[in-house]
Structure 1
Amino acid sequence: MNIRIFRFQNINILAQALTNKIHELEFQSKKGIKYPFGNNEEFVVIGQMILEFYFSDYLIQRGYPTKDSSIKKPSDIVQLRQRLLNEKNLAEIALQYNLPNIVQIGNQIGLKRNPKILAETLKAIVAAQYYDSGFDLEHVREITQPIFKELLDKGQNIPIAELKQNAKSSFLEFINNFTDLKPKVSVEWKKDANSANVFKVQLELDSLLNITKTGINKRQTEQLVYHDALMQLKQKTTNQYNLPLKNEIQKNVSDQRSSEQSTIIYELERSILNDSQTFHFSEVYEFSNTDCQESLSDKVEQLLEKLAF
């Protein structure tokens, strides 16, 4: 599964998304004070609605329904969504994000891998991303697409056509599969002689790509840039152009993971002290520094308790 990273600017939103109601009640019972972050019940409901919408969006953008597939009419999308967006499937995806390591559920440790708890936590995280990103619909679309691809790969033999309306997602998915190079995208805005908005979008990928386009619609101009970038990159791979592949920099990735294991907790602590910091995770590893053998779950719980006072 090609996991999109969840990034959080507001640590309070993350804390609420990770807190099951059991944890909130247990905290209040032990401490005698109100738990400041509440629980994730509302996020769970909102996350369900978001997943339902973007599941349909995912298929519609790929040309469904179509008479040439098993999804022939809109009602087929609804039925498929009901079959695949279930507790069991979402819990399995939550495991891939290692959510049992960070979900807060008081002393009920045995429930950390409960399918219902895991599915609800995943929904809550999705809803929290929606709020934390400032209701950025495109961002939510990007982080949920790997979830839907995983669901469809597991449950249905559906030929997923190349994304027709979102060249950006197709481009990012392509480079994520082939290389660890990161594209640099800049957008300039100005008004022309007629006071109309003009957007200049430039995309650079190391020395491989440098594409610039200008238009009056920012999204459409970006899509054209990403489309051309994807076509050029595919052409280069077809011509056996030597991209810096992932396996060529595996050692660097391994070194980065080792570093992340010893710094992720401190990044979270800095986020608590400074709202401008960003906490992000795709996979969560247990804290392995020899000076502190506590698990990430223990550390997160301590940090949440620290915030409560």
Structure 2
Amino acid sequence: MNGAAPRTARRVCAQFIGVTPRGQAVGVVGPSGGWALPGARVLFGQDPADVARRAGGVPPGTPLSAHDVRSEIATVRDTAGRDVRVHVDRLYYTAAVDAQASEGRPTLPLERATALPALPAAGALLEEEPQRPASSLRRFAGYGIVTDAAGRILLSKIAPGFPGEGTWHLPGGGVDDGEDVRAALVRELFEETGQRGGTGELVTISHHHRGGQTGPHSTDTEIYAVWVFLHVHVADPVPLRVTEAAGSTADCAWFTPDDLPHLRLSATARRGLTALAAPIAP
């Protein structure tokens, strides 16, 4: 008996949910004949929202709303009959569609839409992307807009030697293989600040693509990241402390909203805080 561990693969997909004027989600008939949600794989450097628009067949620039993020773990067989453990992070977007667009297609309440099978299925995502011509780094990460009952916002300070050193950053970081973005954020929050918090609403989904960056193997690295921003509430703050050893966090502190314009913020923090369309609430 072969006890070798299966090959692993990480993938990101963008899913499209059309929403009718009556608030119903529109599905499609999947390959097996059941209802499914349209979607497509997000390749290196792509804007996930653009991928979702193409998957949904709507024009470029159609307004989308980030609706949810879910992780799917599946073991499938490749063409050689070998097991492959596939971790898919699925990004769900909604867009308004007219009644004509839903004619003859299944509709259901929006809250049930993310339970539908999402396309493409894990088994259709085994092909590897072409190798990048130079050093590259891909990252899927979750960051928190972390608040307490007093309305303060918790930030962490990037340590020397790391990109963005000395700037104030949102707690969070990379999602490990087999880990859900919300679980990863709760873990990172404790490692960087010593706080326990509960994740709340999705704020936004963004992406970052830049060349000529310092990476683990080269000072000329092409970096592509998908960033997921979530509300996190700390109901019972405890004394702040950085619990990770020799990590990317040098310090952490609570700030009032009025403090933020006077801080040196990381690009990630600016992106997440700017995306807030409504007041932060517990």
TM-score, scaled to structure 2? 0.24
Bigger Cα Rg? 1
Answer 1 or 2: which has greater strand percent. 2
TM-score, scaled to structure 1? 0.22
Greater relative contact order (CA < 8 Å, ≥ 6 in sequence)? 1
Answer 1 or 2: which has greater helix percent. 1
